[in-house]
Structure 1
């Protein structure tokens, strides 16, 4: 009954897409093209396995990425320092309440605090947000403000959390982390080759 968090594999993208689009109103739908773009560009894209089955996923971007989310842009405008942005987390309905979300947030924080002073995310306000706000509050997130997302007319509570270990890691290692497995970043796929003349 253990939970394993690991980098996503390309052949799992169809399953990730189905999880996303069956998650309900608390998450925006995706199409295969946009998910593949996330696969190629996301700094953090991990899945959870429980009992050998896909139980969820989490996608995150560093503040210097070219991510085009309006919520990501909101954080870039509001925050003076760099940050790690959780774009989306989805846990399979049959696995909710079983610790998968907490395992993801622990893993994402372990990744982020080596690289960023803050972690950010949003919770949609219009679809019964109390449980999600309580979950994030229990991890130390606080609301910085609210943002209404254009084109989808969804209001989001914009949350941030200070990562207390970042200053020590930055002072001690100066941006050059030791080469140990748990501190390594995601090995992103090589970009697709463009045909000549395009």
Structure 2
């Protein structure tokens, strides 16, 4: 069956929360309040459906977002303009079935019209070669490492900080000067959280 990627709906947030918190140590846990902040503020918050059931979700923020993630801030302190993948979660029974690749194709098609770079991190505490290989196959490269603060004095997560140049962005920026055509496939996926128009040439 095909994979359908679409905007999350508010009534699905409980299912998204359960999926996130069952994902294991490679994904930071969430509580309901933080997930609702994501729903209110994230520029990109989409789910994948396969066979009519929730197969995964991806949350992303533009570099001008008011986002309190320490990994987001790491990028913001070093790069002026990027789109940040805060988290991608794929249901365990769907891993290896193309959901992650479908998400990355979708989020890149969104980001490359609006941002010059795509950013994310991969936790390194327990190895994680499959995740590094996955991102490398999409053209991400490591630009540094960051150790997140631990909880209650415990050790923090060490993460590889990854970025990908979005080669289409300069042409889009120079051609459309921040005013993209209003056609369905270009419209921001979450109108309420769509980014403000930004100055061109930066």
Name the TM-score, length of structure 2 as normaliser.
0.91
How far 1:188 moved relative to its partner?
Answer: 2.7
Listed as ranges, the matches of 1:89-100 within 5 Å are: 89-100=88-99
CA distance in structure 1 between the partners assigned to 2:73 and 2:90 by the alignment: 25
Q: Which residue of 2 aligns with 1:107?
A: 106
Where does structure 2 lack aligned partners over 5 or more consecutive residues? 194-202
Indicate which of 163, 168, 176 corresponds to 2:166. Answer: 163
Q: Which residue of 1 aligns with 2:183?
A: 180
Q: Which residue of 2 aligns with 1:5?
A: 5
Q: Secondary structure at the match of 2:55?
A: strand
Question: How big is the alpha-carbon RMSD for the aligned residues of Structure 1 and Structure 2?
Answer: 0.9
CA distance in structure 1 between the partners assigned to 2:145 and 2:192 by the alignment: 32
Where does structure 1 lack aligned partners over 5 or more consecutive residues? 190-198
How far 1:42 moved relative to its partner?
Answer: 0.1
CA distance in structure 2 between the partners assigned to 1:127 and 1:25 by the alignment: 9
How far 1:151 moved relative to its partner?
Answer: 3.0
Q: Secondary structure at the match of 1:144?
A: strand
Listed as ranges, the matches of 1:106-145 within 5 Å are: 106-145=105-144
1:50-76 per-position Cα deviation (integer Å, ceiling 9, x unaligned): 011110000000000010000000001
Q: Which residue of 2 aligns with 1:154?
A: 157
Q: Which residue of 1 aligns with 2:31?
A: 31
1:127-182 per-position Cα deviation (integer Å, ceiling 9, x unaligned): 23100000000000000000001134000000000000000100110110110111
Name the TM-score, length of structure 1 as normaliser.
0.93
CA distance in structure 2 between the partners assigned to 1:145 and 1:129 by the alignment: 16
CA distance in structure 1 between the partners assigned to 2:43 and 2:133 by the alignment: 26
How far 1:88 moved relative to its partner?
Answer: 0.1
CA distance in structure 2 between the partners assigned to 1:39 and 1:66 by the alignment: 13
Runs of 4+ aligned structure 1 residues displaced above 6 Å come to: none
Q: Which residue of 2 aligns with 1:194?
A: none
